[in-house]
A and B are shown apart, each in its own frame.
Chain A
Amino acid sequence: MSAALQFRNLTLGYDRQPAVHHLDGAVETGALVAVVGPNGAGKSTLFKGIVGVLKPLAGRIERGDLKAQNIAYLPQAAEIDRTFPINVYDMVAMGLWRRTGSFGGIDRAARASIEKAIAAVGLTGFEDRGISTLSGGQMQRMLFARLLLQDARVIVLDEPFNAVDAKTSADLFDLVRRWHGERRTVLTALHDLDFVRANFPETLLLAREPVAWGRTASVLTPENLLTARRMCEAFDHEAALCADEKAPALPQSGEVARAGHSVGEHGVATRD
């Protein structure tokens, strides 16, 4: 097993305030990882770091031979202009960007794969519908079809089952399971802990600081969840500069690589 993603003393945040603090560890290739934690725990921030939209304040993410195009990302609040006059078919076809780029044509094989993706999410018959006419669940199905076409080795899903009904989330989770079966690496932010316990082998519990990371059953213990809840959500604007040594060690990761992280680069998150 090789690591698809390796976090090395990773600190991510905004305006020097860390939202993910000193994260170490590896995501194995083909892993299906749930990322859980209270609101403001840094789940979305971590994902933005993984796809490279947000640059680390300190530490780094090693992506091995993964290129940006090999990582597909479904943000929690997609910045989609729903009033834009574009139909479902064209929207899904965007997933082929890696193959087509700006000019590449869409040939018969590509058309077949677009139709297959639309069928896989149960949107057959919606091809010509404008995206402004879709319900929330249909929108999410459409975005999953686009993810299917992206054919990425790492797939990052930020709260993908929010505000969709049980049928839709079950259908969409089938696709996640299929990706897992194809040895793609999938990270998913979720807040339904029972769902995580039932479906995800591995969990990262995040509360700005990583609380625990490993087999789901050993991570989602009452003590860990309590610890996570206690970590305050709001940024502390009086935060002292982060002193390196206080950074917690992670259960899973034996590696500690603190080099390159100097005191004074960012504030420290308080936990009271």
Chain B
Amino acid sequence: MLNDIFIAPFTEFEFMRRALAGALALALGAGPIGVFLMLRRMSLVGDAMAHAILPGAAVGFLLSGLNLFAMTAGGLIAGFVVAVLTGLVARTTELKEDAALATFYLLSLAVGVTIISLKGTNIDLLHVLFGNVLALDDQTLLLIAANATITLIVLALIYRPLVIECVDPGFMRTVSSAGGPAHLAFLVLVVVNLVSGFHALGTLLAVGIMMLPAAIGRFWARDTTLMILIATASGAVASYVGLLVSFHFGVASGPAIILIAGVLYLSSLLFGRVGGLVRQAFPGRHLEA
């Protein structure tokens, strides 16, 4: 019985195994990235960047159909172009970074949807917007796994300067010039993870597997390491449970994963050890001074 519910879907169906492997790899890379985005108050930057990569993926799609490498390369290029243009405009004009990013990602999104509507059908558009975690082929799976590996290695390399740059940028500037490159490498990781995420979850939901777990972590941990561990773990749990829900109830898998993450998030919001709402409402009697 329990086997039927929790294990059999994955042992019996290969597409479910693939989906699980892909989603877990995705959660592994996206967890820490999401935590740093949140701690840098850049939660919505991920969202904007996810929209920005759409036209690149669309051009890739237009040139070579649902081809993994064309769409990936297109997405990466579009992401980097928007990131660089945003940086340039923010640095040289009166527009601040958020406004500059907003303008470019909206333009990028409009261009992307236009391109898809010129050639593709609505089904293609749905695939790009929402992905299809149940149809991951070998190549895509390899791409996601490679991306997770690279993400973790690069994060390990830049971890210390990145943390110091987040908490005390002024100090970082006086002791080392590693802060800028670390931030840049981090932005590259954001784009790379979003591109890898959109194959499975689509451009819109790829951000969900980044930010929801990060927000969950914030309600349970007071230090960065534990926060990252909790975020990654809850991303993995959401992937597993989400796929099961999708399997048993016949709902779309990408949104199911994000919705499960949403349930975990709402419970953390209510019952979280660090600043959860219930904790705040009933803090208990105060301690001795």
Contact = CB atoms under 8 A, between A and B. Distances in A.
B168 A51 contact: no
A114 interface: no
Contacts of B164: 94, 97
Interface in A88-105: 91, 94, 97-98, 100-103
Most buried by A among B158, B224, B227: B224
Interface in B156-188: 157-158, 160-161, 163-164, 166-171, 173-176, 178
B224 A85 contact: yes
Interface in B173-230: 173-176, 178, 221-224, 227
Nearest to B156: A103
Contacts of A94: 164, 168, 171, 175
Given A53-B173, A101-B176, A102-B178, A80 B160 contact: no
Nearest to B221: A85
Most buried by B among A52, A97, A103, A150: A97
Contacts, number: 69
B277 interface: no
A71 B168 contact: no
A256 interface: no
Given A97-B176, A130-B222, A84 B39 contact: yes
A85 B174 contact: no
A101 B159 CA distance: 11
Interface size class of chain A, counting residues whose CB lies under 8 Å from the partner chain: 20 to 34
A72 interface: yes
Contacts of A52: 174
Contacts of A91: 167-168
Interface majority SS on B: helix, strand, loop or mixed? Answer: helix
Interface residues of B, number: 23
Nearest to A84: B167
A102 B223 contact: no
A79 B76 CA distance: 33
Contacts of B171: 78, 80, 94, 146
A80 B175 contact: no
Contacts of B176: 69, 97, 101-102
Nearest to B173: A53
Contact of A79 (B157, B161, B169): B169
A97 B160 CA distance: 10
A39 B60 CA distance: 59
Interface in A129-161: 130-131, 146, 150
A68 interface: yes
Contacts of B222: 85, 87, 130
B159 to A, nearest CB: 8
A86 B224 contact: yes
A85 B175 contact: no
A86 B161 contact: no
Nearest to A86: B167
Given A71-B174, A86-B167, A102-B176, 13 more contacts: A69-B176, A79-B170, A85-B39, A85-B221, A85-B224, A86-B224, A87-B222, A98-B175, A100-B160, A101-B178, A102-B160, A103-B157, A130-B223
11 contacts: A68-B175, A69-B176, A80-B168, A80-B170, A84-B39, A84-B224, A85-B227, A100-B160, A101-B178, A102-B160, A150-B175
Interface of A: 51-53, 68-69, 71-73, 75, 78-81, 84-87, 91, 94, 97-98, 100-103, 130-131, 146, 150
Interface of B: 39, 157-158, 160-161, 163-164, 166-171, 173-176, 178, 221-224, 227
List of 9 A-B pairs having minimum Cβ-Cβ separation, nearest first: A84-B167, A79-B170, A97-B175, A80-B168, A73-B174, A102-B160, A85-B223, A51-B174, A130-B222
